[in-house]
Amino acid sequence: MSDYPEFENKMKKTCDALSSQLATIRAGRANAGVLAQIQVDYYGVPTPIQQMASVATPDPRSLLIQPWDASTLKSIEKAILASDLGINPQNDGRMIRLVFPPLTEERRRDLVKQTKKYGEECKVAIRNIRRDAIEKFKKQQKASEITEDDYKIAEKDMQKLTDDYIKEIDKITADKEKELTEI
């Protein structure tokens, strides 16, 4: 069965995407990952902030954004205000400071719900990959490319792979939930 790596790779990419998505959820601590989804209009081209400025974390509750081109300060500020980050940037003419307020209990609950939702979407994607794999093996069996025993083994292996990745997703979401609730 040379097809396993293809499906395992898809499942791994799904988990990696979840980790990236959860990194953008702010947890009351300053994290440059929250800026990853924000695009700034830079001479007509949507550009990530990290490609236009240095981002530093001077203390646990704030980020400093220092653009390499000072003329982009206003457009970076506008992009942050337009995003769903929920933080007002403080512009001093040379750099932008983002101060992360402590999360309210209600906001924490919302973020935990959002984390669980992302985790569930990821689990659905993993199950869809398993379904696609099993359909492929079924077609191979019908075309007499593999035996029925090989098909049963492949089905069992795909189920084990799916179970392993679902456990991984549960661990990733549990870690994020813990991070959100312990601050």
* Bridge partners (DSSP) listed for residue 64: 56, 97
Residue entry with tokens 């790779």: 9
Residue entry with tokens 């932008």: 96
pLDDT band of 120, cuts 50, 70, 90: very high
What are 82-113's pLDDT values in tens digits? Answer: 877 777 888 888 888 888 777 778 878 888 88
What are 28-38's pLDDT values in tens digits? Answer: 666 777 777 78
Residue 104 class from Cβ within 10 Å (0-12 exposed, 13-18 middle, 19+ buried)? exposed
Q: What is the CATH number of domain 4-23+104-181?
A: 1.10.132.20
Residue range(s) occupied by CATH 1.10.132.20 in the chain: 4-23+104-181
**What percent of the chain clears pLDDT 90, i.e. is strictly above it?**
20
State how beta strands 90-91 and 96-99 pair. antiparallel
What are 147-174's pLDDT values in tens digits? Answer: 888 889 989 999 999 999 999 999 999 9
Residue entry with tokens 């506008």: 78
pLDDT at 3: 63
Q: What does 7-31 look like in DSSP terms, one character per residue?
A: HHHHHHHHHHHHHHHHHTS--SS--
pTM of the model: 0.67
Choices 3.30.1050.10, 3.30.1360.40, 1.10.8.50, 3.40.50.1110: CATH for 32-99:
3.30.1360.40
Q: How far apart are CA 183 and CA 94, in angstroms?
A: 31
Tokens standing for 5? 């790596």
Reduce the DSSP state of residue 52 to 3 states and report it: coil
